[in-house]
Structure 1
Amino acid sequence: MSENPVNYKETICLPKTTFPMKGNLVNKEPERLQGWEESKIYDRILAKRRESGAPRFVMHDGPPFANGDVHMGTALNKVLKDFVVKSKSMAGFEVPFVPGWDCHGLPIEFKVMQDARDKEPAEIRTLCEEFARKWIDIQKASFRRLGVFGDWENPYLTMAPSYEADILRVFAKLVEKDRVYLSKKPVQWSYGARTALAEAEVEYQDKKSTAVYVPFTLIGGDLSGTSLVIWTTTPWTLPANLGIAVHERFIYVVGTFEKDGASKQLIIARDLLDQFAEKTGWRPAGDMRELSGKDLEGLEAQHPFLDRTSKVIFGGFVTAETGTGAVHIAPGHGADDYVAGLANGLEVLSPVDDGGLFTEECGVPELVGQHVFKCNERIVEMLTERDSLLGSETYEHQYPFCWRSKTPIIFRAVEQFFISLDGIREKAMEEIDKVNWLPHWGRNRIYGTVEARPDWCISRQRTWGVPLPVFFGPDGNALLDAETVRKIADIVAEKGTNVWFEKSDEEWVADLGLPAGSKKATDTLDVWIDSGSSHVAVMEKNPNVGVPADLYLEATDQHRGWFQSSLMLSVGYRDVAPYKTVMTHGFVVDKDTGKKTSKSDDKKKGKPTDAAHFYNKYGADILRLWVSSVDWQNEVPFGEDLFQQVGDPYRRLRNTFKILLGNLDGFDPTQHTVAPEDMTVIDRWILERLNVIVTESLKAYENFEFRKVFSAVNQFCAHDLSSLYIDMTKDRLYCDAEDDVRRRASQTALYQVFDSLVRLLAPIIAFTSEEAWEHAGREGSVHEQLFPEPDERFGKGESTALVNRLLEIRDLVQSAIEPLVQAKEFKKNNEAKVVLTVPANHPCLSLLEDPVFVKEFFIVAEMEIEQGDELKASASKSEHPMCPRCRRYEPAVDGAGLCERCHSVTN
């Protein structure tokens, strides 16, 4: 043995790359982001696509409220949108993306008003704008930090004068089509926020209510003195009772009922008789006679504690599920009540003020000035005092609450402006069936809400919003004129909506040529009209965007919100839907409670959900990879421990880039590329597997199935590439001569693998893919490139079929070797000598007879092939020495102990 052994390391082609294994994302991503912004990467990509004549794909951004940090739910939404932007761009589309913010409305005004209750409207509006702009800047910085590409220098803001003017022009079109009207009817009213609410501003919670059974004694006719019994969960609405609804097809029973020695003549729906008796204790005594609901119509009943009567009317909404089959009707406090009352000439009585307090109209002096919910107990007492309470119970049910004040709402009739949806509703339902809904159940969800939607209440008693552009003439009548609204819009476009509050009524009358003495409305428009008008204010007005959008993408709650408001206004404005495809993702929910994550829960439970916490701790690419790994079609369970689990696949992908780049050192594809026919079967196999991954990933991106991309690429890197191909070819990459055709064949394959993977992963791990692209010495940005295309040369799967059979043999060989390793007869597979029996007709026989191939594929020292009836293998320790250069067990051919291959390379 020589005293100075040769340093063979210098003769080996070890991997060499500047790409680091440690990403250091928290520090490096901001630097890369700065480079992107300085080079205007978004503009460069768009320009490149336009120059190539690429077709346009428009994804319209639904605006988040400018009222808080970006939490993980918002981050999920924006990163999904960025996946679409980047993947569609790399698929060859021009993809303009104009981000936006919803700036008006209750969420902002409610927070500002907590410290500004005594300020004038102009001051409140200034504070609201400052509040909104602060959060716009904060959210914008978070979205950019997440690597989201878009026109960040020119986002749309619903409080921008030009946008506000377009909201008014949409309103003018509705006025022109005679869609807007003034009416006094019940709306969802928040006494906490002192305003009417849109359906999307209501959330349902469990509530316990006092439900009462109350007799209304009929007056006149054969049934005089008999009581029609109602059941209600809102005793406070009884002062506004004007009618009783029965179902014309129900059968009712009338007769004597007794309880504790007392008796009454009552009328109850036959199907609810047993339930009524069980709940109240009042049971039939003697014979009952039956009558039809039709027999009751038009009768009058005495109110239980007020000096007036209630009219018996028909109501198709009366059910036999609970109650008595007779429904208390207060037209001023319910949508069904209002419609039924209107059809039967009943007055609209709503004796409740903005704060939820009874007014003198309630007819009970002691209740005036008291909150309606606090009066339930007193009204029950009044019923008891008058022997008009047959029974009561605590009833648990889902009840609507104001989403900001968190107070239960009341249904209250006030004069409001409405958009008539007659005709719009039906056309919208037709348009829904022309839209592609992802997932498919989204169609039924929005169809059902549109079908059941009443006319749209559009006036809000707020300060921070687009003013309702209506005047009231000297006679008090509303002046609804489209041209007047358009004139107001032109003024707003120049000066903003503050001008509405700054100018006096007299100045507006003079500017608009209105009748002297006219006064402007004090309400603002429903904020859903703001965002719902974006198809005009953003898409139609921007020549680089256009209508309709190819895609709207928001959370599932937007079937009642933005998806629907956009649909209704677009149909009202231009008779078509504003989108071709609507993609709905689930909420991010706490993994322990299943409840939607919120910032308030953060503080209470110490569970951060702000996106900044995660990208500042782990990096934006980890967050982006997490988004790609979840099933966006369903609720997304979330917790920091679940989030951390994507660290392993990220490290695997990063290590894959490092291994590929390291082994491509010195490879010039223009000089060293090897043709498929000169490759080994495993080189062709890995490229066939790559071809499958490319094909599957492109299809998945096309269908917005980002999880399939994550899964397919992750599995390919972990199994096919790392565990098999790299492991098998490592010896030739390191130890063959630099220009050996087998080594160059492997580099050719690895080059194609890297080139495909770095492009396929670019939409997902945007920063890391760009980093790998740069370390590969490529020009420009990976995000300017197109996706790889399937290679038809590797589309038939011939090598895959062979390798699959070879892997079956590999498992057999491993089963023969493993006991010897366990018995410590030798340490590693590459010390084994294997005798393999193979049937003569086996498709891999010729490959197995190639000693160079089998030693590489099975990673053994030697293999003898015998023909026999069935596959079987035996193993023993090879007697060959270990080559000091390649560390394979091979016959030595020189005094240094080198194997034939290593001797050839080093001499």
Structure 2
Amino acid sequence: MRGYKVHYVPGWDCHGLPIELKALSEVRGGENLSPMEIRQRAKAFAERAIEKQKSAFIRWGVMADWANCYLTFDPKYEANQLRVFSKMHDKGLIYRDYKPVFWSPSTKTALAEAELEYNEQHVSRSVYVKFPLLKSPPKLASVIDGSSPANVLVWTTQPWTVPANQAVCYMPDSAYSIVKCATTGQHFILAADRVESTAAVLDTQFEVISTCKGADLADGFCAHPTIPGRVSPLLPANHVAMTKGTGLVHTAPAHGMEDYGIASHHQLPTDCLVDESGCFTEAAGPELKNKYVLEEGNEAVIKMLQAAGSLLKEEKYVHSYPYDWRSKKPMIIRASKQWFVNTADVKATAQDVLKKVKVIPTSAVNRMLEMLDRRTFWCISRQRCWGVPIPAFYRKSTGECLMNSETIADVIKIVEQQGTDAWWALPTEQLLSKESVAKAGVHEVSDYVKGQDILDIWFDSGTSWAHVLEGAEQRADIYLEGKDQLGGWFQSSLLTSVAARKKAPYKTLVVHGFTLGEKGEKMSKSIGNVVDPEVVINGGEDHTKDPPYGADVLRWWVAESNVFTEVLIGPVVLSAARDDINKLRNTLRFMLGNLEGFNPETDSIPPAEMYIVDQYMLHLLHEYGSKVTEAYKQYDYSKVVRLLQAFCSRNLSNFYFSVIKDRLYCEEAKDPKRRSCQTVLAEALDVVVRSFAPILPHLAEEVFQYIPYKKDAEGVFRTGWINASSAWKKPGIEEAIEGACAMRDSFLGSISGKNALEYEVIIVIEPGLLFELMEALQAEETSSVSQLNEIMMASQTTLLSELPKETPSDANITKGTFLINLEGGDICEQCSYKVIARPIAKAKCPRCRRYTAESSSTPCPRCLQVLAAGKGST
């Protein structure tokens, strides 16, 4: 509407675990399907969902080229994605490593942090465990004399990780105490700040024997609590928390990010004893083998600790714990071989370019910068088959990886023609050329097998810029999504774009909040408070319970909400939105009805010849158009709605329509006075409809179909934006009308709800600016047809510069002042006025119903004149 072509290409993320799980749930024995069968079912499921969603978007009035959408399983899209992957690999930003990652046992794959949700009510079986001191730290040898055994005391919420323990960590700068247990006489080492709370939990008392610095624990060694002969060194670390536990942290490198860092630094083993299903492997020993770590595995480890005499206490612990966002089952941290993007190398550039992006609301940019700051790597491999394969080949004999620009180019050529199904359908010999293998060394193609990992779906969606955006610049004006995408799509798009070409893929980010239930509660299928847009639009099975509101009510609700925070939806909110639209429809209906028989081309009145109140309305219309345009530029749709409602109810319905009704209904049809307000109505209708068209497209098109003089079939969206002429802008005119309105308010207030037409008004103003302004609205002393009388809404108005000598006893006198402020404050005058209201002595005109007739059976002089012209109506 603003005269620009909008290149909005709708698209769907089609790969990933949610779709794969849905497709598998539709078939019995899904776990036994081959990768190709899973992919075919997942694709068919995605295609069905796309068609359903596409028809919903069209019904909502979303305008796009629906025949040409992008789908992430399109071969060309997949090929473009692999080209970005190849560029990043060439720059050394993609690597394979063995390290702990978030692992979902329920879906048997690694997940990125953005794919987790945290269950605040997760219950863990926490344990207090003692690690017997084998070798005292040299600095504490004199304190720990060896007469009674000393132990290091640790606390963990994940007992199943104890078999993987390789060390116990302390905070070097914190204070630690050696205590004696009043119950058992044993000696324990723990943080000084945690002595009292730990003794309370263990239902005992600790006598502090000595206190030392954490650094004094250096070079001490403990015995592993369940594995005879295993030694766990005491090591310094900065991740040790003092707010809970004992201030000493059990360290299992295969099951913790910080733990792994400590192990790497000190060359400790990082073996993982847990398989892809979350069960202990054979290496964990016969007591634990095949047991699921979060259930029977936990139980078995606790029993082993008990049997070894290492368990001091077990208790339930409620805390926030990561869950797989799709299966809603708990995650574990598990070390495995995965592919990563080295985000540490692109983070600084990503942050720099992000600072140049316009982010709405501005508060969101700091959250995203913080998230980038914390992200040193991005795990991009998934152990599934519904997605784009990581084009890696592995040597059968050694597991050594072969992947370079030549081998990836081979795969891209095939993918562009056949899609990524080819990775599973074709033998390695057809995917890997002899030339690429020869370049890499002397091995035969038959020495290699294809990798089974696919790319994280955030890499899929994060490379959409490479496929969707046209031209060399390839930067979108805007990316729009929810605040959860600050760690998801917004971030993966930024990282891939910066990694491949050192620039952001977007110029502006618009970040919206989430939808909550009417009372501010989260939507949940289990609570049953999820609002389905389809039910909102078309109604539910029982229309008395779920009425059909139509698409525009849904759109209005979005627009009037402050979408940058959480928004509420429910029957009360929706029915209020419907009422708002009905009020707007009534305003539009009034304008449409009164434009019958009017043709702007031949009947319009130039602004200079209009009534001053009509010119004033054009002035307000110009101001409204400017404010609405600015609000749209800022994506502030709730401000657009507020401006629209205020203009339609306050300026049009309550004021202008009530003032001009007499002119519209009682003047001769073609009278310039009537044409004057019709000209304003035509302009107001056009401006108002265009102003809400982006929000209420269906209503806007409907109105355009009913405008009697609209000849073009192009409708509202192809005929431009608000066209408010700058000639309408007349700041000085406000004083005249607003001064008259102040007096009208005094008059109406003084007659308290009675019919204004039963009164005549005498306005007394001392000579000066205000009097001159009112004189422009009424040249003669007394009139029933003047512009001033029209605004006063009385049957007759008299304008005087001094009080009449005789004021009738039944008159109602009101005093007031009005401040005139012209030319930016250069002319400023406080003017006082008096408004006298008194019942009028004349009869009610049977035609215009004003008290201006000589007798109730004869029309008033104005109506007689109109009737004499032969074109009036009674």
Report the TM-score, using the length of structure 1 for normalisation: 0.85
Determine helix, strand or coil for the equivalent of 1:645: helix
For structure 2, list consecutive stretches of 5 or more residues without a partner in the other structure.
438-442, 540-547, 804-814, 816-831, 869-874
The two structures have a TM-score, normalised by structure 2, of 0.88
* 1:247 aligned partner: 171
Aligned partner of residue 273 in structure 2, secondary structure: coil
2-structure distance, mates of 1:896, 1:409: 89
Report if aligned partners of 1:301, 1:309 keep a CA contact under 8 Å in 2: yes
Higher relative CO (Cα under 8 Å, sequence separation at least 6) belongs to 1
Contact 2:275 2:281 in 1 (8 A): yes
| Amino acid across the alignment from 2:2 | A
SS of equivalent residue, structure 2 residue 747: helix
Matches within 5 A, 1:24-103: 90-103=1-14
Aligned residue number for residue 572 of structure 1: 499
Percent identical across equivalent pairs?
35
Q: Deviation digits for residues 674-730 of structure 1, max 9, x if unmatched? A: 222222221122112212211110000110111111111111111210111111111
Q: Deviations over 1:736-791 (max 9, x none)?
A: 12232211211121121112112112111112111222322241221012222443
2:260 & 2:723 partners in 1: Cα distance? 62
Alpha-carbon distance between aligned partners in 2 of 1:850 and 1:632, rounded to the nearest angstrom: 54
* Partner of residue 574, structure 2: 643
Superposed counterparts of 1:730-745, under 5 Å: 730-745=661-676
Q: Distance in 2 between the 1:359 and 1:144 partners? A: 52
SS of 1:719's equivalent in the other structure is helix
1:467-866 to 2 correspondences below 5 Å: 467-474=389-396, 475-510=398-433, 513-514=436-437, 515-516=443-444, 517-539=447-469, 542-543=470-471, 547-592=474-519, 594-595=521-522, 597-598=523-524, 600-601=525-526, 605=528, 608-611=531-534, 613-615=536-538, 617-776=548-707, 777-779=710-712, 780-818=714-752, 821=754, 828-841=755-768, 842-843=770-771, 844-846=773-775, 847=777, 849=781, 851=783, 852-866=786-800
Aligned to 2:810: none
Query: Are residues 1:447 and 2:409 paired?
Result: no
The aligned counterpart of 1:19 is: none
Amino acid at match of 1:565: S
Question: In 2, are the aligned partners of 1:487 and 1:512 still within 8 Å (CA)?
Answer: no
Shift of 1:379: 2.5
Provide the secondary structure at the position in 2 that maps to 1:256: strand
Which residue does 2:130 correspond to in 1? 215
Contact in 1 for aligned 2:845/2:859 (Cα 8 Å) = yes
- Of residues 257, 273, 277, the one that matches 2:181 is 257
1:32 counterpart residue number = none
Query: Counterpart of 1:178 in 2: which secondary structure?
Result: coil
CA deviations over 1:341-379 (Å, ceiling 9, x no partner)? 11111111221111111112224x222111111232333
Amino acid at match of 2:846: P
1:9-24 superposed matches below 5 A? none
2:504 maps to a residue whose letter is: A
CA distance in 1 between counterparts of 2:415 and 2:435 reads: 13
Conservation of the 8 A alpha-carbon contact between 1:421 and 1:456: yes
Q: 1:464 aligns with which of 380, 386, 395?
A: 386
Report the 3-state secondary structure (helix = DSSP H, G, I; strand = E; otherwise coil) of the residue aligned with 2:254: coil
- CA positional deviation for 1:615: 4.6
Could you say which residue in structure 2 is the equivalent of 1:230? Answer: 154
Residues 458-487 of structure 1: per-residue CA shift (max 9 Å, x gap):
111101111110001242101121221122
SS in 1 for 2:626: helix
154 and 731 in structure 1: CA distance in 2 versus 1, 3 angstrom threshold: same
- Structure 2 distance, partners of 1:781, 1:511, is 61
In the alignment, the residues of structure 2 paired with residue 191 and residue 106 of structure 1 have an alpha-carbon distance, to the nearest angstrom, of 13
Tell me by how many angstroms 1:608 deviates: 3.9
Whole-Å Cα distance in 2 between the matches of residues 612 and 566 of structure 1?
34
In the alignment, structure 1 segments of 5+ residues that lack a partner are 1-89, 822-827
Match of 1:134 among 48, 66, 69: 48
The letter for the 1-side match of 2:648 is C
Match of 1:399 among 321, 330, 343: 321
- The size of the alignment, in residue pairs, is 799
Is residue 509–residue 518 contact of structure 1 (8 Å, CA) maintained in 2? no
AA at the equivalent of 1:392? E
- State whether residues 274 and 281 of structure 2, in contact with CA within 8 Å, keep that contact through their aligned partners in structure 1: yes
Work out whether residues 164 and 271 of structure 2, in 8 Å CA contact, stay in contact via their aligned partners in 1: yes
Contact 1:280 1:392 in 2 (8 A): no
2:787 alignment partner, SS class: helix
1:367 aligned to 261, 272, 288, which one? 288
Shift of 1:382: 2.8
Is the Cα–Cα contact under 8 Å of residues 679 and 745 in structure 1 kept in the other structure?
yes
- Shift in Å at residue 401 of structure 1? 0.3
- Given residue 401 of structure 2, which amino acid in structure 1 is its aligned partner? A
Secondary structure of 1:784's counterpart equals: coil
Residues of 2 paired with 1:608 and 1:325: CA distance? 47
8 A Cα contact 1:759 1:785, kept in partner? no
Task: Give, in angstroms, the shift of residue 269 of structure 1.
Answer: 1.3
Q: SS at 2:58's partner residue?
A: helix
Judge conservation of contact 1:465–1:525 (CA < 8 Å) in 2. Answer: yes
Secondary structure of the 2:790 match is: helix
Q: Deviations over 1:427-449 (max 9, x none)?
A: 11212211111111111111111
Q: Are the aligned partners of 2:740 and 2:792 in contact in 1 as well (CA < 8 Å)?
A: no
Q: Distance in 2 between matches of 1:431 and 1:503?
A: 41
The answer as to whether partners of 2:178 and 2:189 remain within 8 angstroms in 1 is: yes
Letter in 2 for 1:605: G
Instruction: Name the SS of the counterpart of 2:117 in structure 1.
Output: strand
- For 2:841, the equivalent position in structure 1 comes to 879
**Equivalent-residue separation in structure 1 for 2:853 and 2:574 (angstroms):** 52
Q: Distance in 2 between matches of 1:204 and 1:527?
A: 20
With over 3 angstroms needed to count, the CA separation of the structure-2 counterparts of 1:699 and 1:94, relative to structure 1, is same
Query: In structure 2, how many angstroms separate the alpha carbons of the residues matched to 1:802 and 1:211?
Result: 78
Please tell me whether the aligned partners of residues 616 and 734 of structure 2 are also in contact (alpha carbons under 8 angstroms). Answer: yes
Contact 2:465 2:493 in 1 (8 A): yes
Q: Name the structure 2 match of 1:357.
A: 279
Partner of 1:174: 88
Task: State the Cα distance separating 1:454 from its structure 2 match.
Answer: 3.2
- Give 3-state SS (helix, strand or coil) of 1:721's partner: helix
Q: Which amino acid aligns with 2:201?
A: K
In structure 2, relative to structure 1, the CA distance for the partners of 1:615 and 1:787 (3 Å cut) is farther
Tell me if the contact between 1:629 and 1:707 (Cα under 8 Å) persists in the aligned partners. Answer: yes
Partners of 1:508 and 1:704 in 2: CA distance: 48
1:902 matches 2:863: yes
Letter in structure 2 aligned against 1:639 = G
- Quote the residue 1:120 is aligned against: 34
Q: Which amino acid aligns with 2:152?
A: L
Is the partner of 2:717 in helix, strand or coil? helix
Alignment CA distance shift 1:342-1:191 (3 Å): same
